[in-house]
Amino acid sequence: MSGTGLKMILAALAFAFLLGCDDKQADLTPVTLDARLQGIYTHTCAACHADAETGAPQTHNVAAWAPRLSKGADVLLTHMVEGFNGMPPLGQCVECSADDLTALMHFMAAPDKDAKNRAPE
Amino acid sequence: MKNLLPSPSRRQLLQYATAASALAATGAIPSIVQSAFADVTATPAPLPWRNWSGGQSCQPAMRAAPANETALAELITGAKTPVRAVGAGHSFSPLVPTEGTLLTLDRISGVTTHDPETHQADVLAGTRLAQMSDELAKRGLAFDNMPDINKQSLAGAVSTSTHGTGAEIGSLSTFLRSLRLVTASGDVIECDAKTKPEIYQAARVSMGALGIITKARVQARPLYKLKRRTWVAPVEEMLDALPELETKNRNFEFYYIPYSGMALGISNNETDEPETPVPVNEDDDGLRQLKMLEDWLGWSPPIRRWTIQKILGGMEPEERVDYSHKTLSTTRGVRFNEMEYHLPREAAPGALREIIETIEKTTSRSSSRSKSAPPRPTTSGSAPFTAARALRSPSINFMNGTTNPISKPSNRSSANIRAARIGASSTRWSRRILRASTPSGMIFWKCGRHSTQPASSSTPI
């Protein structure tokens, strides 16, 4: 087995374990956004989470999101609202509610609908 | 003199220096490590608003994201006041905080049309500069200049006289040719240099005071490329060469790295050369190492200065060729607060030297950062300017103490206007250096021109 494959499996296991600790469970199932949230994602989140140069965890990069999710939903929401490191407050989404932010985060932390980007199960 | 021995890579240099300095460290855990693992559990509700740097905040009673100009006009007449519009929240000034209604124009965005003959384009107000640049590029167009952060909305950037570098290039507000404005009564005003010129001129840098801009016609130019050069030199050498650097380069700026005696210069000049590969961000480890090095050697400023000079002095200049909006604007992984001062160009080098001296004499990791400087005369002007930035707290506390921001309400009786700007650009070099910077951040010299609008001088962004 290649080193990359092993890393992917370990990341998926860690991801699943960490999410299992969360009261609002996410899983490795791709998340679909409604049109409003998709627009918000495109206008705000994607500016950093779809640009690797920013250093932000990239959308659908399950391994990159796993250690973030391990902090727990409350901490993550606080970081999203107040800003944390390079993450600007509210992710620069002025109209977002707490539920919006959480949904957007789950969308980005989950695998892409495209199977080739999906972590091994 | 050319080195006879092959130079180690920057990463190797950092690793060596970090390892060596770790042995000499006091054993205390660097504060950056402690803060990185600090846990925050409180979840505010309802959600407050904060600006990008965290320096401004509010708890608006209502938030709204109108889908178009008509919806905005209807909403604005009945909304709880004060009504404030916010773009990306990159202004450091208290323009946005409100207990009333906070509006975002995020849904009113995009480049709607362009004229290939005049190179003008209609851009909706909520369009982020990065998005606008990409859309203009697809149409073969580009702005004549860009700020070093491109996350702002067009309306926010224009309204606050956001600018880039370049002694002969205006701020973004100078690129406007007409605009549409929704007033507090819900009326829509369309104006330009001939139609309602007084409103047009005032509204270009009105900080939202005259209404909410919904659309602007902007003057662009055919897409062009720049060669960006980044190099390190002793700050005195940089200051001595300023007149030549300012006149010979289309865009020029430099950053001073406090306690090091070294500066990072950045120039941009037009070129037809082929694009170079986008630099890969491979320096995060190096940045952390340099930051730790700086922390660990804080007990001995002379050794820290010598070590950083040795590391930076051995670095080769870097060059990148790309389209203008990619070399002029950068990605900021580090948020900071900023102060910005406008000075006559000839006065700025001396002022900058004073700031460097003040920072390095009055602060260290263990000393107080709240000492106030003696009152200084305030000078502001329209063309040459310099600015000051500081990384987030506690740095901003120190900077506020020694050089009061002119645009921010202060209890202090005077403002000490001195030349500096603290920040970084997106090159691997400058990103590394910014994150490795001292508590006082980076001092940044920038030579450029604001809008002719008088309000511009008091609104750093």
ipTM of the complex: 0.72
- The strands making up B120-124's β-sheet, listed across from edge to edge, are B111-115, B120-124, B212-219, B176-182, B188-192
Measured between CB atoms, does A74 come within 8 Å of chain B?
Answer: yes
Query: Measured between CA atoms, how close is B321 to chain A, in angstroms?
Result: 17
pLDDT of B298: 74
Distance of alpha carbon A112 from alpha carbon B50, whole angstroms: 31
pLDDT score of A7 more than 90 = no
pLDDT of B431: 38
A53/B172: higher pLDDT: B172
Distance of alpha carbon A102 from alpha carbon B253, whole angstroms: 40
pLDDT of B332: 73
A-chain residues near B43 (CB < 8 A): 74, 77-78, 81, 98
Q: H/E element holding B320?
A: strand B318-323
Q: Decide: B375 and B417 in contact? Cβ < 8 Å.
A: no
Q: Decide: B409 and B93 in contact? Cβ < 8 Å.
A: no
pLDDT of B338: 80
Residuewise pLDDT in 10s, chain B (461 residues): 333 333 434 444 444 444 444 333 333 322 222 222 223 233 334 689 999 988 999 999 999 999 999 999 999 999 999 999 999 999 999 999 999 999 999 999 999 999 999 999 999 999 999 999 999 999 999 999 999 889 999 999 999 999 999 988 999 999 999 999 999 999 999 999 999 999 999 999 999 899 999 999 999 999 999 999 999 999 999 999 998 998 999 999 988 877 788 888 999 999 999 999 887 654 455 555 666 666 777 778 888 888 878 877 777 899 999 999 999 998 777 787 887 878 888 888 888 899 888 888 876 543 222 222 222 222 222 222 233 333 333 333 334 444 333 333 333 322 222 223 333 233 343 333 333 333 334 555 554 444 433 333 222 22
CB-CB under 8 Å, A83 with B281: no
CB-CB under 8 Å, A88 with B281: no
Distance of alpha carbon A98 from alpha carbon B355, whole angstroms: 43
Interface A–B counts its CB contacts (< 8 A) at: 93
pLDDT score of A51 more than 70 = yes
pLDDT of B430: 38
Condensed to tens digits (0 to 9), the pLDDT of residues B318-353 reads 999 999 999 999 877 778 788 787 888 888 888 889
- The identity of residue B93, as a single letter, is S
A-chain residues near B107 (CB < 8 A): 39
Distance of alpha carbon B46 from alpha carbon B366, whole angstroms: 38
Q: Which of B50, B104, B331 sits opposite A82 (nearest CB)?
A: B50
Average pLDDT, chain B: 73
Query: Which value, to the nearest 10 degrees, does the dihedral of the CA atoms of residues A8, A12, A17, A19 take?
Result: 130
pLDDT of B364: 56
pLDDT of B299: 78
Which of B105, B285, B331, B393 should we substitute to test contact with A (largest number of A Cβ atoms within 10 Å)? B331
Distance of alpha carbon A98 from alpha carbon A77, whole angstroms: 7
CB-CB under 8 Å, B128 with A54: no
Condensed to tens digits (0 to 9), the pLDDT of residues B16-60 reads 444 444 333 333 322 222 222 223 233 334 689 999 988 999 999
Measured between CB atoms, does A98 come within 8 Å of chain B?
Answer: yes
B211 strand-pairing partners: none
Alpha-carbon distances of A94 from A98, B59, B96, B103, B124, rounded to whole Å: 11, 12, 12, 8, 18
Q: Which of B41, B63, B335 sits opposite A94 (nearest CB)?
A: B63
Measured between CB atoms, does A39 come within 8 Å of chain B?
Answer: yes
pLDDT of B291: 63
